[in-house]
Amino acid sequence: MQRTTSRLLLRPPRSEDLASLFAIYGDPATNQYNPAGPLTVIDQAETLLEDWIRHWTLHGYGLWTITTRASPDCVIGFGGMGLRKFGEVELLNLGYRLAVTAWGQGYATELSRAALEYGFDELKVPEVFALVRPAHTASIGVLEKIGMQRVDVLDDVPGQAPSLVYKVSRSLIGD
């Protein structure tokens, strides 16, 4: 399902997005807080893209390919909501990764608000979670700006500080 915001076009990913996905997810800068590091071979991007497309097929929603309305053929990132394991529990997770050229322009906040609106208004989910590394202050700021609150930590990366778990409920945003 395609969505639009004031500046963004959000659409389900497709096979033609592979090069953009690899460029963004393979960039060391966009993986500064990703303990797994950047993708190193195109096969990793292909597997990730196939997983996203499968999620859309199974659930009818998932991570979107993000472009601007001004340049709809230029992919600036990927983000939205998908099911993700938080330890042993599968939860609806808000996430995104934007190309460095898209940083600092409010796109992450705009995408995140659109994702929450979609989740609460269309999917009728009661709550949405997000997982963020404790040093990633920019993403923490986005999560707090959209009304998410830190509710827990998750020891998901051996040998590193636990990730922070954020949550927002539909009741906190309003029906």
CATH number at residue 36: 3.40.630.30
pLDDT at position 171 is 77
User: Which residue range(s) make up the domain with 15?
Assistant: 3-173
pLDDT at position 24 is 98
pLDDT at position 172 is 61
pLDDT at position 175 is 45
How many domains does the chain divide into?
1
pLDDT along the chain (175 residues), means of 10: 96 98 98 95 98 97 98 97 92 97 98 97 96 97 97 93 95 58
DSSP the chain: --EE-SSEEEE---GGGHHHHHHHHT-GGGGTT-TT----SHHHHHHHHHHHHHHHHHHS--EEEEEESS-TTSEEEEEEEEEEEETTEEEEEEEEEE-GGGTTSSHHHHHHHHHHHIIIIIS--SEEEEEE-TT-HHHHHHHHHTT-EEEEEE--STTSPPEEEEEEEHHHH--
